[in-house]
Structure 1
Amino acid sequence: MSGAWLQIPRPKPKAAIRLLCLPHAGGTASLYRPWAKLLPDSIELVLVCLPGREQRCNEAMPADMQTLIALLSRAIKPVIDKPWAVFGHSMGATVAHELALSLYREKLRGPEHIFVSAREAPQFQKSGNVHQLSDESLCQQLIELGGTAPELLEIPELRALLLPAIRQDYRLIETSKMSSDQLLNCPITAMVGRDDPELSTDEARGWQQWTNCEFQLNEYAGNHFYLSDCPDLVVGHIVRKLHLA
């Protein structure tokens, strides 16, 4: 296990495959913790804990995607000794994609499947300026997206703690460029909330162009954080895709 980077809420030594989960901008691995009880014994959940949040709140998020991926690629080596898949939500989807490309370059084991949630395909990537917004405008953006309780943002002490990390995540994702146009040698499932204000179905469907294998688009009722409304449904779809129900 790689120290602060990874957590396994419910170890399953005999699991046939591991599912690594990457959080959204400003998000934490705790979003996925309830999934441990929903997954069958054949799938072991691995939470990826990024710097700048929860127990790593005093650590700075890397300033660029290249540095983050280099650190993350090193950290996950102990858990990719068996088949693995990866789920990334929003920013986490881009990190998951870049992580797979990095492992290909290193000639290491790539994922069996990538689940990209609430994120446009690379050809539709928006440069964005969220990281440059004022604190008030950034808070409004977070409230509109959902996933952040408005009452938390009204507490000055919590705002001072949360906003710098969120801003740095947005800076990283809004200024990053895709490292390679190589296609993935694994299936991609794109997952999207029908009422997501940040993402169109066509932008999610664009992931089809980035794999040599099967592609599927799953739509769910809800907004950018649809997965919080129907975890059983989302996890059920993941399990079926991994053929390990």
Structure 2
Amino acid sequence: MTAVPVRRRLRDTPPVEGTALVCLPHAGAGAASFARWLGLFDAPIGVVRAQLPGREDCASEEPLRRVADAVELLFPEVAALPRVALYGHSMGAVIAFELARALAAAGRAPAHLFVSGRRAPHCRARHRGIHRLPDAEFAEALGSAVIGPPHFLRYALALTRADLTLSEDYSGAADPRVPCPITAFHGRDDPIVAVDEVQAWSAATTGTFTLHLLEGEHLFHQPRRRELAALMTGALT
């Protein structure tokens, strides 16, 4: 595993009673991407944002390039929470899934797994990955997703390449399935993930599965965060 300093990875105080909803970001993003989620839930649900190396207040750390390393890094703090649910978008969805499997194996299965913007772990990618492209082609493939002054672009492109390495090289399987319910969200106009790939998450759980279709493209989870929060609240309470 990549060596990183020992530090807290959960950026918010979990609820004393109730459910900690641990949120995992998409490629290139960090804990700050969920800042506007903090006020969307009432007790007994509390948002807890996970921070991975290489971004924001952890920018000096080497970003991870394997899902297993992300799970190993987050597991101790997440496993210590009395009751936890997990939510991940895109890259965050596969980390959340593997973290849910690790928690279940340790007898600490999450109350619920929420995923969005990602095909099911056992589905093969329909699109060619971009993380191995030369710098100029890589930046062009990302388009307007990464903009800013030159010094920021260098940082953002390096981080996003590392995150996409983690995400695109991940090869999962539906078994062993998680023993908790899975709720999946899909943006109707997502150009990266098809609805049948999201529906396939139903094979990754021994519990119930629910699929919600919302308006939007790949990053629909941000403009639709109030709708997602309401649906998550209903599932958890």
Same fold (TM > 0.5): yes
Alignment of 1:193-204 (within 5 A): 193-204=187-198
> Given the alignment, which residue of 26, 51, 54 partners 1:52?
54
Residue in 2 that maps onto 1:99: 99
1:215 aligns with 2:216: no
Residue in 1 that maps onto 2:131: 131
Residue in 2 that maps onto 1:72: 74
- CA RMSD for the aligned pairs? 1.9
Alpha-carbon shift at residue 230 of structure 1 (Å): 1.9
- Corresponding letter in the other structure for 1:125: R
Q: Is the 8 A contact 1:15 1:44 kept in 2?
A: no
Q: Is the 8 A contact 2:174 2:204 kept in 1?
A: no
Task: Could you tell me which runs of 5 or more consecutive residues in structure 2 were left unpaired when the two chains were aligned.
Answer: 1-5
Alpha-carbon shift at residue 123 of structure 1 (Å): 2.3
- Corresponding letter in the other structure for 1:209: A
| Identity, % of aligned positions | 32
Alpha-carbon shift at residue 136 of structure 1 (Å): 3.0
Residue in 2 that maps onto 1:140: 140
- Corresponding letter in the other structure for 2:86: V
> Given the alignment, which residue of 164, 170, 175 partners 2:169?
175
Alpha-carbon shift at residue 121 of structure 1 (Å): 0.6
- Corresponding letter in the other structure for 2:11: Q
- Please report the TM-score for the alignment, with normalisation by the length of structure 2: 0.90
> Given the alignment, which residue of 184, 190, 195 partners 1:190?
184
Q: Is the 8 A contact 2:93 2:115 kept in 1?
A: yes
Q: Distance in 2 between matches of 1:46 and 1:117?
A: 17
Residue in 2 that maps onto 1:111: 110
Residue in 1 that maps onto 2:9: 5
Alignment of 1:14-53 (within 5 A): 14-53=16-55
**Any idea what the Cα deviations from partners look like across 1:32-68, whole Å, max 9, x if unmatched?**
1111111102111110000010000111123322222
Q: Is the 8 A contact 1:69 1:95 kept in 2?
A: yes
**Any idea what the Cα deviations from partners look like across 1:123-156, whole Å, max 9, x if unmatched?**
2232843111233332333337xxx3x542xx21
Q: Distance in 1 between matches of 2:135 and 2:90?
A: 21
Task: Could you tell me which runs of 5 or more consecutive residues in structure 1 were left unpaired when the two chains were aligned.
Answer: none
- Corresponding letter in the other structure for 2:40: L
Q: Is the 8 A contact 1:188 1:214 kept in 2?
A: yes
Deviates more, 1:214-223 or 1:61-70: 61-70
Secondary structure of 1:132's match?
A: coil
Alpha-carbon shift at residue 172 of structure 1 (Å): 1.5
Equivalent residue pairs, number? 231
Query: CA 1:5–1:12 in structure 2 vs 1: closer, same or farther (change >3 Å)?
Result: closer
Query: CA 1:199–1:13 in structure 2 vs 1: closer, same or farther (change >3 Å)?
Result: closer
